[in-house]
Structures are given as structure tokens and as C-alpha cells.
Amino acid sequence: QAKHGGRNQATWFEEAMETELQARSGFEERIRRGIAQGEFVPYYQQQIDLETGELVGFEMLARWNSPEDGLVSPDLFISVAEETGLICELSEMLIAQALEDAMQWDPRLTLSVNISSVQLCDPWFAQRLLRLLNETGFPAKRFDIEITENCLNEDLGAVRAVITSLKNQGVNVTLDDFGTGYSSLARLKALPFDKLKIDKTFVAELSKEGGNTKFVEAIVSLGAGLDLPVTAEGIETKEVLEALRKFGKLKGQGYLYGRPEDSRTTNDLLSARKLLRQAIRSNDKNKD
């Protein structure tokens, strides 16, 4: 009987594996189709100077506008896109769209994008990204790439080469989700980062009764000590904002200021604040 059960179990396991593989390849196929149909779109979340309350730029966050499932969160498709290598095509398509959108923004505003470690291991990535910047005319010094600590587990020489060629052209490099991976000072030193971003799990502690606020405070001082500007993510309430402002000079983003929005809503917001160039540009066109 035990033998029988064992065989059944093996069969069950094989079937489960097969279903899983089929589901994966089905998902991969859907992502591929979604890319071809232009279903992936950039959303933008405001980034604020917490001292002045001024809007400094936006972080682009990918969304999948799927006809079957509606608006799909990146947590559900980025990892599959990474495993299948589709992330390069997907990301570059989104960046191209985002750069075009950002060309209409006030020329003081910055654009940040998230980049996977897979992309940083591709020796041609830097060239292609710089070409996109060139083609749209968006200045590299207003462009930030956000990378996580995972990329330090990859071939560090290859990653460093890509980062260096981007930085040589003025692109800024932010260490995202700081503190959630295997953080150490050696890792912080391994690449020439320009900024640090505190993960929202640490920021969330500031809103809890008896929450551990020491980590945020320590990361802010670390940033100050290393001359690295710090951004806090996940600011949801005024109380959290006030707590952060006591720790030092910070930038930040979160639902308190705004959720990620599509390009139309973002343009409306900028237009209302007179931070859109579109009007200026069409006036210029009328002149000549």
C-alpha cells in the first residue's frame, strides 16, 4: 500500500510540475503577446523634497493593462519577465515611452526607472539606454536608474562596466530597497551609488505604536555620513512625514503625496501646476 501511495505521489508531483511548467510557459506567451500589443504601460509616482514639499520628479513603475486581468502589478510579472529574458525588451519599451512623456515635463523634473540585475549583466544595455536618451533628447543628468542589492550577487565586473559607462554620461544610480537584501558597507562601496532609497518596510515602522524607528534614523545618518542623498518610500501619513523630517534632509514618495498614475493623469497634474512644457512647445510651433 505504501508503495502504491508512493507511486501516486510521484505521479501527482509530476503532474503538478507539468501544470506549473505549462502555466509558466502560458504566462510567458501572454507576456510576449502583451508586449507586442502594447499592453504594458508606464505609471508615474511623484517624488518630493520633504523639506520644501516641492515636486522633484517621478519614478516610473510598470503596469500591465491586460484585457483578461485588468491592471496587473509588477510583482506578478517582473520575475517571470526576468527569468525568460523578456525583461530587456519590456523595460526598454517602457523607458522609451517614459522618456517621451518626460520630455513634456518641466525641465527641472527627474525621471527614475527600476532596472533588473539581468539587464545590468548585458554588456550592450548601457549603449542601448544611452541611445534612447539621445534619441529623445532627455538629459542623462535628470535620469536615475534604481537597482537593488541583488545586482551585487551577479558578475560584479560586468555590472560595474555597465554602471560606469552610464555614469560617465551623467546618469545617476540609486540603491533601491536598501536594507532588505544582504546589506553591508562593503556592498555599498562595491559600486559608485549616487543615492540611497530606504525600503518602505522600514518607513512603515514609523507609523506603528512602539515601532522600530532606529533603522530609518541610522540609514539617514549613514547617507549623511557618506554624502549620499536619501529617499524614503512608502510615506502614507502626515505622522510618518513629520517623523522623517526630524531625522534629516530627505526626499520621499508615497500615497500621502500620490499613487502611481498613468501618463494622462500625470500630465493633468503637471498641467494644473504649470509644470508641463507642451503648451510652451505648441506655442513655439505656432510662432514659426
Residue ranges binding ligand C2E (CB under 6 A): 45, 61-62, 73-75, 78, 91, 94, 114-116, 146, 176-177, 200, 233-236, 253-255, 260
What residues pair up with 43 in beta bridges, in sequence order?
A: 61
Residue 101 interacting entry, from Mg ion, ligand C2E, none, C-beta within 5 to 8 Å by type:
none
Site map (CB under 5 A) of Mg ion, residues 177-216, x = contact: x---------------------------------------
Q: Smallest gap, in angstroms, from Cβ of residue 122 to ligand C2E?
A: 13
With vertex at residue 192, the alpha carbon angle to CA 95 and CA 52, rounded to the nearest 5 degrees, is 70
Closest to ligand C2E by CB, 61 or 219 = 61
Give the residue at shortest CB distance from ligand C2E.
254
For residue 117, the minimal CB distance to ligand C2E (Å) is 9
Instruction: Look at residue 94 and give the partner it binds from Mg ion, ligand C2E, none, a contact being a CB closer than 5 to 8 Å depending on partner kind.
Output: ligand C2E
d(CA 279, CA 265): 16
Do 48 and 257 contact (CB within 8 A), yes or no?
A: yes
Query: Could you say which DSSP state residue 38 is in?
Result: T
**What does the alpha-carbon distance between residue 200 and residue 202 come to, in Å, rounded to a whole number?**
5
For Mg ion, which residue has the nearest CB?
Answer: 146
Binding site partner of 260, from Mg ion, ligand C2E, none, Cβ cut-off 5-8 A by kind:
ligand C2E
Q: What span, in angstroms and rounded, lies between the C-alpha atoms of 44 and 112?
A: 9
Nearest to 85 by CA among 112, 121, 50: 121
Cα distance between residue 17 and residue 266, in whole Å: 43
Contact indicator for 88, 129 with CB cutoff of 8 Å: no
Which residue, 46 or 114, is less far from Mg ion as judged by CB? 114
DSSP, collapsed to helix, strand or coil, labels residue 42 as strand
CB of 176 to Mg ion, least distance (A): 4
Pick between residue 101 and residue 199 the one whose CB is nearest to Mg ion: 199
Number of residues that bind Mg ion (CB under 5 A): 5
